[in-house]
Chain A
Amino acid sequence: MTWPDEGGKPCQGPCQKRVRVVTGRISIVIGMTNSAIAVSGLRKAYKDKVVLDGIDFEVRAGTVFSLLGPNGAGKTTTVNVLTTLLSADAGTVRVAGHDVASNAKAVRAAIGVTGQFAAVDELLTGQENLQLMVDLNRAVAGDGKRIVADLLERFELTAAAGKPASTYSGGMRRKLDLAMTLVGNPQIIFLDEPTTGLDPRSRRTMWSIIRGLVADGVTVFLTTQYLEEADQLADRIAVLDKGRLVAQGTADELKRQIPGTHIRLRFTTAAELDAAARVLTDATRDDEALALRVPGDGGTKSLRALLDRLDEYSLSAEECSVHTPDLDDVFLALTGHTTEVEAK
């Protein structure tokens, strides 16, 4: 069952949950308060190249939603449409309860955006960058200097506040970028690949900052190329491939769809492989590599059980390694091709 929306277009997916109450000429959509972002039938093409081919999803207020996909999947285009920078060819997009096409101003007042490249002014100092945001933000009330000082403190940039942003490291730039986005306390924050190009330590810092935002009640829309990042942060994940959503769900739901963590055992002779395969009946054989793939969660307990079992039958493997699924596995499982092909 589908409800027609204001534009008369059929509304799919998330809209089905809503109840429409019509009182005279005023129609109220109940359930809107709960959904920070609602996208239905979104399409976008550049000339004849289709970038987004009809995508639907809903983000509940106060949660983290992650759009996962390789380069060129359409992640940034989605962010640009949702943040009023690009207009869609078809479909409806509501952000913070407002239509992005007809009420862009109201949407802009409710959101903060951190783009794919740290959009900081390199010739200005960290402090001046934040002050610029305060000066330009209509929503800022009260002591601007105080807001700047608090943000510098919160992002551990106080010591570097007087230095030009061009001297900042990649991680510091991202932090400054995010701090600038937070001026004016937006209720919904868009982060387009916030950790791409960061070293592991800065990535972890960024993750803990994002978790802090969510704890404050902010809704986060995050795009990423890394399954681990989506896994760490997101309440719901949507996998985008060639402009279509190929899967949607919680991290656990997605992982159930992909080849799970497994232990790989390599043997020296075919005879050993045969013997091990007879013992480990749930394993998959790879005769060419003389290897066995044993499903397991990668924890010490299951690993010990597996090794004990080999010992029991006096078997030994030449090599033992634990494999966890990565984005490539997700893509292979969901789309039948790897991310490499996509990334060109």
Chain B
Amino acid sequence: MSKSHSLVMLRRNFKHIARNPTSVFNAVLMPIIIMLMFVYMFGDAFSVGVDYIDYATPGLILLAVCYGLGATATAVNSDMTKGIINRFKVMDVSRGAVLTGHVIASVLTNVIAIAALIGVAFLLGFSPAASLPHWLGVVGMIVLLGFAAGWLTVALGLSAKSPETAGLAAVPLVMLPFFSSAIVPAEKMGPGLRQFAEYQPFTPIIETMRGLLNGAPDTTDAIVAVAWCVVIALVGYLWARSTFKKRA
């Protein structure tokens, strides 16, 4: 029964995405616009040792994950504040079906956005050295990150007072990649910021993807990246679960 409930909820989430042009714009087009901006406008100004598109693509993949989150937070919150979640609760729809629907829809939006982004990257001369297993690693990393960030965002959305504040709550997640090695290497940043960039969760995740795409993954980065994702997912899941139960 619960399985079919999950399917029903997922179908609802997909209809939402398809019918809400703003969420599609933010999740799919925004990362591409940022990619064009950085690669065409600023790309030559940064010297990163390699072709800038090859350096920036892994970071922009992460940015693409984050840009999808605002829509998820807003969607979850409007379900909460408009009484739709209460309606589901009274109908005995499981927490699993309601929240997992949002998380899976969020991950799938990420995957679509990233596929589009990588397509554009190839057009711009992206030339990764990754073999098939490396690519599978990249996909795995994206899904794991999307899943972790998805649960955290669902929790943020459930806790926020209004859809507007929910959208705002996701902003730090959108800004965080800029303070990582996504756009420029951390060692080029000023003191303080540099340490922050080196130790924040997104840097090992980006470095893992960068390594995979270059065909030379770093095991330490990968372990740290996976550990961060597991921790974020767990915190998000537990927070979301308790908020869902408490808030009426």
Contacts and interface: CB of A to CB of B under 8 A. Distances in A.
A121 interface: yes
Contacts of B248: 80, 85-86
Interface residues of A, number: 29
A113 B86 contact: yes
A25 interface: no
A209 interface: no
B92 A138 contact: yes
A129 B5 CA distance: 15
A117 B248 CA distance: 13
Interface residues of B, number: 21
B91 A123 contact: no
B241 interface: no
A239 to B, nearest CB: 24
B19 A117 contact: no
Nearest to A135: B8
A108 B91 contact: yes
B91 A136 contact: yes
Contacts of B1: 138
A112 B91 CA distance: 8
B188 interface: no
B87 A115 contact: yes
B91 A137 contact: yes
Of A128, A136, A164, the most chain B CB neighbours within 10 A belong to: A136
A328 B54 CA distance: 71
Of A84, A115, A128, A164, the most chain B CB neighbours within 10 A belong to: A115
Contact of A108 (B15, B20, B84, B90): B90
A105 B84 contact: no
Interface string B180-212: 000000000000000000000000000000000
B25 to A, nearest CB: 15
Contact of A136 (B5, B19, B20): B5
B20 A123 contact: yes
A119 B84 contact: yes
Contacts of B15: 123-124, 128
A164 B19 contact: yes
Nearest to B18: A123
B5 to A, nearest CB: 6
A124 B84 contact: no
Contacts of A105: 92
Given A80-B248, A121-B12, A133 B91 contact: yes
B12 A124 contact: yes
B16 to A, nearest CB: 5
Contacts of B16: 123
A18 B19 CA distance: 55
B1 to A, nearest CB: 7
B15 to A, nearest CB: 6
Interface in B40-94: 82-84, 86-93
B89 A85 contact: yes
Contact of B82 (A80, A119, A128): A119
Contact of A113 (B12, B87, B93): B87
Interface string B1-31: 1001100100010011001100000000000
A202 interface: no
Nearest to A83: B90
A109 B20 CA distance: 33
A109 B93 CA distance: 11
Contacts of A113: 86-87, 90
Nearest to A115: B83
Contacts of B5: 136
A96 to B, nearest CB: 13
A103 to B, nearest CB: 12
A251 interface: no
A117 B162 CA distance: 14
Nearest to A119: B83
Contacts of B83: 115-119
28 contacts: A84-B90, A85-B90, A85-B248, A105-B92, A108-B90, A108-B92, A109-B92, A111-B90, A112-B90, A115-B83, A115-B86, A115-B87, A116-B83, A119-B82, A119-B83, A119-B84, A119-B86, A119-B87, A120-B84, A123-B16, A124-B12, A132-B12, A135-B8, A136-B5, A136-B8, A136-B88, A137-B91, A180-B87
Interface of A: 80, 83-86, 105, 108-109, 111-113, 115-121, 123-124, 128, 132-133, 135-138, 164, 180
Closest 10 CB pairs of A and B: A119-B83, A85-B248, A115-B83, A135-B8, A119-B87, A86-B248, A80-B248, A123-B19, A113-B90, A108-B92
